[in-house]
């Protein structure tokens, strides 16, 4: 029994390695994310592999290696943005990690790289010269202008006659509304009270967390955040937020949850919540005008 226990202990891996991508099918040049995770027992020597190149793939960005300490183990994580310009079915190879002087490999991941689909049922034609096209609405132009003018006169007459309505509209405009910062803080407090991670609703939680941030950026800074991807938004915030790494980590994790159906831990969700709240606080403080000191 003692020999069996020793053999079982020797056979157990010195570390747990996991590799995940948010896409397994891309078009040539399309970026996608690779996340590497490692869980290592305490007091175990551990080395991260040097990722200089991957066959058939190119690195676009390499995030820093984050670490966290849990009871009895250490946790490491790194985000990488990569792409490929070679069409075909390729595999991200097994990556070697060194733990307790032993190599531990991640799983390989197959990625399909192809071209943008083309409808081959349609013929291809040369570019034609510019030709004049008669406007079928030209004969109706006078009637359209007349109808628009009449409708405008009726609208003006109705607004002038309805002074009570105008006063109500003015009162609505003067009504005190929440500022973008107050709205964001109120939404974050409500999200925290719902405690979605405890019920397993990670996709809803991260979607709402990202929406709160994007609404604040749109209202407060006129950043068209809903038209930008997470990576475009991260580049946009680099000049506005000196310490943006934790916020970038939260945005990338949101993509993994939504597209790769990754389920982070409750501790990760709390960390990303704090990152978004801290980032909004920092951007708001940077926008508040500082009092000018008067000199004698």
Q: What is the pLDDT of residues 200-256, one digit of tens each?
A: 899 999 999 999 999 998 998 888 888 888 888 888 888 777 777 888 888 899 889
Give residues with Cβ within 8 angstroms of 23, minimum separation 6: 30, 32, 33, 111, 259, 260
Mean predicted confidence (pLDDT) in 14-30: 92
CATH 2.60.40.10 segments of the chain: 11-114
CA–CA dist 178, 90 (Å, integer) = 51
Mean pLDDT, all residues of the chain: 84
Would the pLDDT of 11 be above 60? no
CATH 2.60.40.10 for domain 11-114, yes or no, is: yes
Candidates 201, 225, 202, 228; CA nearest to 213 is: 225
Q: Give the dihedral sign, CA 177/180/185/187.
A: positive
Over the stretch 199-213, which tens digit does the pLDDT of each residue have?
A: 989 999 999 999 999
What pTM was computed for the model? Answer: 0.56
Sequence-separated contacts (24+) of 215-223 with Cβ below 8 Å: 215/180, 215/183, 215/184, 215/187, 216/180, 216/181, 216/183, 216/184, 216/280, 216/283, 219/180, 219/183, 220/180, 220/181, 220/283, 220/284, 220/287, 221/283, 221/287
Higher pLDDT pick, 38 / 242? 38
pLDDT of residue 117: 75
Residue 62's pLDDT band, with cuts at 50, 70 and 90, is very high
CA–CA dist 3, 8 (Å, integer) = 9
């Amino acid at each position: 029994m003692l020999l069996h226990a020793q053999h079982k202990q020797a056979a157990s891996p010195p570390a747990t390695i996991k590799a995940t991508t948010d896409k397994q099918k891309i078009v040539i040049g399309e970026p996608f994310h690779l996340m590497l995770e490692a869980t290592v027992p305490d007091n175990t020597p551990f080395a991260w592999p040097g990722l200089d190149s991957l066959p058939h793939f190119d690195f676009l960005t390499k995030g820093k290696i984050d670490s966290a300490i849990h009871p009895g183990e250490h946790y490491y994580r790194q985000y990488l943005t990569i792409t490929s310009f070679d069409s075909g079915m390729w595999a991200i190879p097994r990556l070697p990690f060194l733990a307790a002087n032993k190599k531990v490999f991640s799983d390989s991941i197959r990625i399909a790289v192809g071209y943008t689909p083309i409808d081959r049922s349609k013929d291809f034609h040369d570019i034609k010269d510019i030709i004049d096209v008669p406007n079928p609405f030209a004969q109706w132009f006078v009637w359209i202008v007349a109808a628009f003018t009449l409708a405008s006169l009726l609208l003006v007459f109705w607004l002038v006659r309805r002074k009570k309505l105008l006063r109500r509209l003015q009162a609505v405009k003067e009504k005190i509304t929440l500022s973008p910062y107050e709205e964001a803080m109120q939404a974050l407090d409500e999200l925290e009270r719902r405690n979605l991670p405890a019920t397993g609703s990670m996709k809803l939680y991260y979607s709402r967390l990202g929406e709160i941030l994007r609404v604040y950026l749109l209202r407060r800074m006129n950043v068209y955040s809903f038209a930008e991807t997470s990576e475009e938004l991260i580049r946009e915030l680099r000049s506005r937020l000196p310490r943006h790494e934790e916020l970038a980590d939260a945005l990338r994790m949101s993509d993994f949850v939504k597209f790769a159906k990754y389920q982070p831990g409750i501790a990760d969700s709390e960390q990303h919540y704090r990152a978004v709240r801290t980032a909004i606080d920092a951007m708001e403080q940077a926008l508040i005008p500082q009092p000018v000191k008067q000199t004698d």
